[in-house]
C-alpha cells in the first residue's frame, strides 16, 4: 500500500486550512482484515474513534455495518496502456479493476476499461492475417472471413454497451467465494464499433435447430496444454440475434486495447462480460447449449432458487446467468471526502440494469432510512449505462455515508445488504456507498 499516492487521490474540496492535512487520510488508517464482512464487537465509540468524527445518524446505522470509509481500498500499479489508478487483483491470469472515481466519464475511456483474463493472452497479433471462422453443427456451411472482409461486407454500427464481469462485487460475500476478489470495478461502458453478429449469421445461414452460439479466442490455457482452452462461453440465439450484439474491432473509435481483445471481440451488452469473447477467432452455432470451457459445472451459474449462505448446491440446481441485475455506482466524489458544513454536495454516477432500463435513482445520507430522488438521464442507446446526479445537504458536522440505489424498469431495486449468496460469488448488486465527513 502506497499512502503517498493514496493521499493525492483524496478529494480536497473545500479544504482551506493546512491543519487539515492530517485529516486527509482519515479514512485510510485501517487494518485490511476488517474490510470484509462485518465488524465484530465494535461499539459506536470505537467506530467514531476510527473515523475521527461523530456519526449523526448513528441510531439509524445497521448493526455490524463497516463504515464505507473503512471498507474501501485503492492500490496503485502500472500497466501499459492503462490508467495508473487501476488496481491489479491477480497477475496470472491478469485481473485489473477500475476504482469508482475513475469511472466518472459518461463513456468509459479505453485506458479505464477493466481487464479480466482467464488464460494467457496472445502476445503479438497480426490483423492482416487474422481470420474469423464460423462453424458448429447448426450452420449451413463453415465460412471464414478476414478482418478486411468483415469490415467491407457488413454494415457497421457503433453503440455504447455496458459490460460487467458476473463476479464484480465478489469480495463482499460471506462465507467468502473463491475467485478474483473484485470490489466494484469490473464494469465499463465504452462505445464499440463493429458489425452485428446477426448479420454474419444470416449471411452464413443457420439451421432451424440452432439454439446457442459459442466463441473461441486466441488466448491459451494457463497450464500450457494446447488441447485446452481457457474459456469458451456463449449465448442463446435470442441474444445472438439481437441488434446490439456486436463483433467489434474498435472502442471509442480506436483499436481495442490488446488486453481487451484486439483485434476482434464479441460484445454482448448487459450480459455477464464472460460472454463477450476476446481475441475472437471462431464462432460456433450449436444445436444445444454450448458446452465449452466455463459453461459447465458451477461457472457463471447461480442457484436456480435462493439458498442460505454456505449451502452446498447440487450442480443440477444451478442456472446459467443471463441478463445482469440492476446496479449503480457513485463516481463522484471519491469516498473519503471532506466537506464544510453548509456546502451542498453534488453526487453523481451511472446506473445500469442488464437487458432492462434503469427507471429511477435515489440517494440516502442516513443509512437508508430516508431516500431522495436523483436526476436520471436516458441511455445513449439501449444497453448503455445511464448517468444520474443528486444533491445532498448535511444537517450537522460528523460522519456520513451517501448510499445510491437504482430501480430497473421491472421495479426491482438494488438491495442495501449483500444479495443472494451463491457458491461462486456472482451478481452482488448491493448499493454502492461513499464516506463523507462534514467539518
Cα–Cα distance list, 338 to 21, 90, 323, 335 (Å): 11, 32, 38, 9
Place of cell 452455432: 285
What is the nearest approach in angstroms of ligand MTE to the Cβ of residue 258? 10
Residue of the chain from 101, 112, 239, 278 that contacts ligand MTE (CB under 6 A): 278
Nearer to ligand MTE, 52 or 93 (CB): 93
Nearer to Mo ion (CB atom), residue 86 or residue 200: 86
Tell me how crowded residue 37 is: count the other CB atoms within 10 A of its CB: 17
Based on the shown chain and the rule CB under 6 A, indicate whether residue 118 belongs to the binding site for ligand MTE. Answer: yes
Cβ-contact 10, 3 below 8 angstroms: no
Residue 112 interacts with ligand MTE (CB under 6 A)?
A: no
Among 72, 98, 108, 117, binds ligand MTE (CB under 6 A): 117
Of residues 55 and 231, the one with the C-beta less far from ligand MTE: 231
User: Rounded distance, CA 122 to CA 132, Å?
Assistant: 16
Determine the Cα–Cα distance for residues 188 and 385; give it in Å rounded to an integer: 9
Report which of 345, 341, 342, 346 is spatially closest to residue 439, judged by C-alpha positions. 341
> Do residues 303 and 249 touch, judged by C-beta distance below 8 A?
no
Q: How far is CA 289 from the centre of its chain?
A: 25
Cell numbers placing 96: 485489473
What residue 367 binds from ligand MTE, Mo ion, none (CB within 5 to 8 A, per partner kind)? none
CB of 26 to ligand MTE, least distance (A): 33
Among 47, 53, 69, 113, binds ligand MTE (CB under 6 A): 113
Question: What's the start-to-end Cα distance of the chain, in Å?
Answer: 27
Q: How far apart are CA 266 and CA 133, in angstroms?
A: 13
- Report the partner that residue 219 touches, choosing among ligand MTE, Mo ion, none (CB closer than 5 to 8 A by kind): ligand MTE
Q: Are 323 and 271 in contact (CB under 8 A)?
A: yes
Cis preceding-peptide flag for 81 (omega within 30 of 0) = no
Contacts of 115 (CB under 8 A, 6+ apart): 79, 82, 94, 95, 96, 259, 260
Residue closer to ligand MTE, measured from CB, 374 or 423: 423
Which residues bind to Mo ion, rule: CB under 5 A? 116, 165, 274
Report, in Å, the least distance between residue 100 CB and ligand MTE: 16
Residue 47 or 187 having the CB closest to Mo ion: 187
134 or 231: CB nearest Mo ion: 231
**Is 249 or 400 the residue whose CB approaches ligand MTE more closely?**
249
- Which of ligand MTE, Mo ion, none lies near 117, with the C-beta cut-off 5 to 8 A by kind? ligand MTE
CB of 276 or CB of 422, closer to ligand MTE = 276
Stretch that binds ligand MTE, among 60-68, 234-242, 276-284, 318-326 (CB under 6 A): 276-284
Contacts of 4 (CB under 8 A, 6+ apart): none
HSE, CB side, 13 Å, CA atoms: give it for residue 229. 20
Minimum CB distance to Mo ion, residue 7 (Å): 32
For the bound state, the minimum distance from the C-beta of residue 273 to Mo ion, rounded and expressed in Å, comes to: 5
Of the candidate residues 122, 190, 214, 217, the single one contacting ligand MTE (CB under 6 A): 217
Residues 154-193 that bind ligand MTE (CB under 6 A): 165
- Residue 157: CB atoms within 10 Å: 16
* Of 113-121, 170-178, 191-199, 312-320: span binding ligand MTE (CB under 6 A): 113-121
- Quick one: which of 89, 103, 134, 231 contacts ligand MTE (CB under 6 A)? 231
By CB under 6 A, name the binding residues for ligand MTE. 113-119, 165, 217, 219, 230-231, 260-261, 273-274, 276-279
Amino acid at each position: 500500500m502506497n499512502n503517498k499516492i493514496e493521499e493525492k487521490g483524496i478529494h480536497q474540496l473545500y479544504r482551506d486550512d493546512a491543519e487539515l492535512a492530517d485529516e486527509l487520510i482519515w479514512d485510510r488508517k485501517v487494518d485490511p482484515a476488517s474490510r470484509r464482512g462485518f465488524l465484530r464487537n465494535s461499539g459506536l465509540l470505537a467506530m467514531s474513534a476510527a473515523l475521527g468524527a461523530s456519526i449523526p445518524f448513528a441510531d439509524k446505522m445497521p448493526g455490524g455495518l463497516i463504515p464505507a470509509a473503512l471498507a474501501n481500498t485503492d492500490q496503485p500499479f502500472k500497466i501499459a496502456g492503462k490508467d495508473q489508478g487501476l488496481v491489479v487483483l491477480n497477475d496470472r491470469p491478469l485481473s485489473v479493476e477500475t476504482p469508482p472515481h475513475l469511472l466518472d466519464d459518461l463513456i468509459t475511456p479505453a485506458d479505464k476499461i477493466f481487464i479480466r483474463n482467464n488464460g494467457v493472452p496472445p502476445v503479438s497479433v497480426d490483423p492482416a492475417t487474422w481470420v474469423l471462422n464460423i462453424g458448429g453443427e447448426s450452420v449451413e456451411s463453415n465460412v471464414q472471413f478476414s478482418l478486411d472482409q468483415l469490415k467491407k461486407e457488413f454494415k457497421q454500427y457503433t453503440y455504447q454497451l455496458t459490460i460487467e464481469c458476473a463476479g464484480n462485487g465478489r469480495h463482499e460475500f460471506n462465507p467468502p467465494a473463491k475467485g478474483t476478489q473484485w470490489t466494484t470495478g469490473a464494469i465499463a461502458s465504452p462505445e464499440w464499433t463493429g458489425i452485428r453478429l446477426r448479420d454474419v449469421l444470416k449471411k452464413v445461414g443457420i439451421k432451424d435447430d440452432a439454439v446457442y452460439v459459442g466463441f473461441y479466442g486466441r488466448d491459451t490455457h494457463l497450464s500450457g496444454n494446447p488441447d485446452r482452452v481457457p474459456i469458451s462461453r456463449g449465448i442463446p440465439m435470442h441474444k445472438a440475434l439481437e441488434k446490439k450484439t456486436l463483433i467489434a474491432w474498435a472502442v471509442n473509435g480506436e483499436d481495442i486495447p490488446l488486453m481487451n481483445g484486439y483485434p476482434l471481440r464479441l460484445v454482448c451488452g448487459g450480459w455477464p462480460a464472460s460472454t463477450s469473447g476476446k481475441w475472437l477467432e471462431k464462432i460456433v452455432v450449436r444445436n444445444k447449449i454450448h458446452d465449452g470451457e466455463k459453461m459447465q459445472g458451477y461457472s457463471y451459474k447461480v442457484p436456480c432458487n435462493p439458498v442460505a449462505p454456505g449451502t452446498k448446491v447440487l450442480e443440477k440446481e444451478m442456472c446459467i446467468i443471463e441478463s445482469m441485475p440492476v446496479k449503480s455506482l457513485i463516481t463522484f466524489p471519491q469516498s473519503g471526502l471532506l466537506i464544510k458544513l453548509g456546502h451542498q454536495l453534488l453526487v453523481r454516477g451511472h446506473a445500469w440494469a442488464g437487458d432492462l432500463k434503469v427507471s429511477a435513482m435515489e440517494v440516502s445520507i442516513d443509512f437508508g432510512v430516508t431516500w431522495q430522488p436523483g436526476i436520471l438521464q436516458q441511455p445513449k442507446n439501449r444497453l448503455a449505462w445511464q448517468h444520474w446526479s443528486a444533491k445532498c445537504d448535511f444537517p450537522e458536522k460528523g460522519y456520513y455515508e451517501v448510499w445510491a440505489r437504482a430501480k430497473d424498469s421491472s421495479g426491482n431495486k438494488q438491495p442495501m445488504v449483500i444479495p443472494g449468496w451463491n457458491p461462486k460469488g456472482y451478481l452482488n448488486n448491493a448499493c454502492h456507498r461513499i464516506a463523507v465527513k462534514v467539518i
